[in-house]
C-alpha cells in the first residue's frame, strides 16, 4: 500500500500519495494534531523502508489502475511518518520522473539540518516545509520532537534550502487554539517565513480527528489575525481551513482503496460514500473492514471519519 488516491488537494489538485514509510508510522515528531495519531516509533535515523524498485513498481501499477479523468497532477510523498527518514528518497524522486509528472514532498522539516536531505529535496518540483512555531517551548509543545533535535538547526537548514531551491517552495503552519495562536507568536513565525520568500504560505487548522482530543482550532478572530499578519509581511497566504472535496481516485477495488487512502488521509463519510459509488460498492465493505479491526470510525466536528488502524489489537 505504497501508492494511494489520488486525493483532492487545495495545494496540488489531484495528488497521488506515495507512502514511502507505509509499514508503520516512523516519525521524528509526535504532533498533538496529527491525524494518524501519536507516534509510537520516534526516530531521526534515516533507514531503508522499501527498495526503490519496489516503490516505483507499486506507483506504476497504481497509475495503470486509475480510471480515465483521475490521472494525478502531482506524485506526492505524504506518509504516515516523515518521508525524509527514507534514505532512498533522492533516488526515488529521480526514478519517479519517468512518469512525466511533477514530484511533491510534504515534510515536517525536522531533517532540514542535514545537508544530504536538503540536496535530495532539490530534485523535487514542489516542497512544503512545516513551520508551526519558531519558539522553542511552543515547538516542543505542539510537535513533541525527538529530544535530540534542535530547533535552531532546523530553522537554519530551512533557510539554507530556501536560498538555493529552484522549485516551488511552500510553507505550512498548523494553528492550534491556546498553543501557537497568540499575536506575538504569529508575528514571530511570520517574520521567519517572510525571510524564506515562499511561493505560498498556508495556515491550517485541524479538520480531521487529532492525536490529542483536546486539540481545537483557534477562534475565527485568531485566524483572521494570522492571515492579516502574514499578509502585512508581504507573504502570499492562503487558509487551509475547509474540506477539500469528496472526489478521490478509485481503482475499482473499494477494499484496497479505503485501506490505502485511510492510512494517511482519514476519509470523511461523504468522501467515503463517493468512493464507494465510483467503486460500485456498498457500506458492507466498510462494515467488514471495521469488524476486522482494519479501520476505525472516529467522530469529529459533527462528521464521521474513517481511519486505518495501524496497530491492530491482539
For residue 251, pLDDT beyond 80: no
DSSP 242: S
- Give the total number of structural domains in the chain: 2
Q: Which of 160, 159, 172, 132 is nearest to 12 (CA)?
A: 172
DSSP 85: G
The pTM for the full model equals: 0.80
Whether 199 and 116 map to the same domain: the answer is yes
For residue 249, pLDDT beyond 80: no
pLDDT tier, 132 (very low <50, low <70, confident <90, very high otherwise): very high
Contact 171, 128 (CB under 8 A): yes
pLDDT tier, 312 (very low <50, low <70, confident <90, very high otherwise): very low
Whether 62 and 209 map to the same domain: the answer is yes
Residue identified by cell 473499494 is 254
For the residues 179-197, what does the mean pLDDT come to? 96
Report the pLDDT value the prediction gives residue 195, as an integer from 0 to 100. Answer: 97
Whether 56 and 192 map to the same domain: the answer is yes
In angstroms, rounded to a whole number, what is the distance separating the alpha carbons of residues 39 and 27? 7
Q: Is 73 helix (H, G, I), strand (E, B) or coil?
A: coil
**Length of the chain in residues, anyone?**
314
**Residue ranges in 233-311 assigned as alpha helix (H):** 254-262, 269-278, 283-291
Report the pLDDT value the prediction gives residue 263, as an integer from 0 to 100. Answer: 59
Domain that holds residue 271: 254-308
Report the pLDDT value the prediction gives residue 11, as an integer from 0 to 100. Answer: 84
291: number of CA atoms within 13 Å, CB side? 6
In angstroms, rounded to a whole number, what is the distance separating the alpha carbons of residues 119 and 134? 23
Whether 31 and 131 map to the same domain: the answer is yes
Q: Is 225 helix (H, G, I), strand (E, B) or coil?
A: helix
For residue 135, pLDDT beyond 60: yes
pLDDT tier, 241 (very low <50, low <70, confident <90, very high otherwise): low
Whether 226 and 280 map to the same domain: the answer is no
Whether 304 and 200 map to the same domain: the answer is no
Q: Is 104 helix (H, G, I), strand (E, B) or coil?
A: strand
pLDDT for 68-92, tens place per residue?
888 899 999 988 899 999 999 999 9
Whether 132 and 192 map to the same domain: the answer is yes
Give just the sign of the alpha carbon dihedral 250, 256, 257, 258: positive
pLDDT for 278-296, tens place per residue?
888 999 999 999 988 888 8
For residue 260, pLDDT beyond 80: no
Whether 260 and 231 map to the same domain: the answer is no
For the residues 209-230, what does the mean pLDDT come to? 87
For the residues 156-185, what does the mean pLDDT come to? 96
Whether 51 and 154 map to the same domain: the answer is yes
Contact 167, 127 (CB under 8 A): yes
Whether 192 and 263 map to the same domain: the answer is no
pLDDT tier, 313 (very low <50, low <70, confident <90, very high otherwise): very low
Whether 49 and 197 map to the same domain: the answer is yes
The overall average pLDDT reported for the chain is 89
Report the pLDDT value the prediction gives residue 300, as an integer from 0 to 100. Answer: 65
pLDDT for 299-309, tens place per residue?
766 878 787 76
Q: Which of 110, 201, 127 is nearest to 165 (CA)?
A: 127
For residue 138, pLDDT beyond 90: yes
Specify the CATH number for the domain of residue 266. Answer: 1.10.10
**Residue ranges in 113-150 assigned as alpha helix (H):** 115-121, 136-143
Whether 17 and 64 map to the same domain: the answer is yes
For residue 171, pLDDT beyond 90: yes
Amino acid at each position: 500500500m505504497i501508492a494511494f488516491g489520488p486525493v483532492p488537494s487545495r495545494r496540488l489538485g489531484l495528488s497521488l500519495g506515495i507512502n514511502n514509510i507505509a509499514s508503520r508510522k516512523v516519525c521524528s515528531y509526535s504532533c498533538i494534531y496529527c491525524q494518524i495519531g501519536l507516534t509510537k516509533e520516534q526516530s531521526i535515523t534515516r533507514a531503508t523502508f522499501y527498495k526503490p524498485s519496489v516503490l516505483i513498481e507499486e506507483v506504476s501499477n497504481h497509475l495503470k489502475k486509475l480510471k480515465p479523468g483521475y490521472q494525478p497532477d502531482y506524485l506526492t510523498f505524504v506518509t504516515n511518518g516523515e518521508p525524509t527518514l527514507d534514505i532512498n528518497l533522492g533516488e526515488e524522486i529521480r526514478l519517479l520522473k519517468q512518469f512525466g509528472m511533477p514530484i511533491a514532498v510534504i515534510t515536517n522539516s525536522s531533517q532540514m539540518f542535514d545537508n544530504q536531505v536538503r540536496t535530495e529535496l532539490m530534485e523535487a518540483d514542489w516542497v512544503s516545509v512545516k513551520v508551526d512555531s519558531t519558539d522553542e517551548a511552543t515547538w516542543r509543545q505542539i510537535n513533541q520532537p525527538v529530544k535530540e533535535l534542535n530547533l535552531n538547526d532546523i530553522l537554519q537548514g530551512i533557510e539554507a534550502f530556501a536560498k538555493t531551491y529552484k522549485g516551488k517552495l511552500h510553507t505550512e503552519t498548523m494553528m492550534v487554539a491556546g498553543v501557537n495562536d497568540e499575536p506575538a507568536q504569529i508575528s514571530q513565525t511570520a517574520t521567519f517565513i517572510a525571510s524564506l520568500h515562499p511561493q505560498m504560505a498556508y495556515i491550517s487548522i485541524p479538520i480531521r480527528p487529532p492525536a490529542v482530543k483536546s486539540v481545537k482550532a483557534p477562534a475565527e478572530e485568531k485566524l483572521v489575525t494570522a492571515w492579516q499578519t502574514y499578509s502585512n509581511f508581504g507573504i502570499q497566504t492562503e487558509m487551509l481551513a475547509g474540506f477539500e472535496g469528496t472526489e478521490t481516485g478509485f481503482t475499482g477495488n473499494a477494499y484496497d482503496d479505503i485501506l490505502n487512502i485511510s492510512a494517511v488521509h482519514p476519509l470523511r463519510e461523504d468522501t467515503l460514500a463517493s468512493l464507494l459509488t465510483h467503486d460500485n460498492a456498498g457500506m458492507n465493505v466498510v462494515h467488514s473492514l471495521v469488524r476486522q479491526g482494519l479501520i476505525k470510525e472516529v467522530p469529529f466536528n459533527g462528521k464521521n471519519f474513517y481511519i486505518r488502524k495501524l496497530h491492530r489489537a491482539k
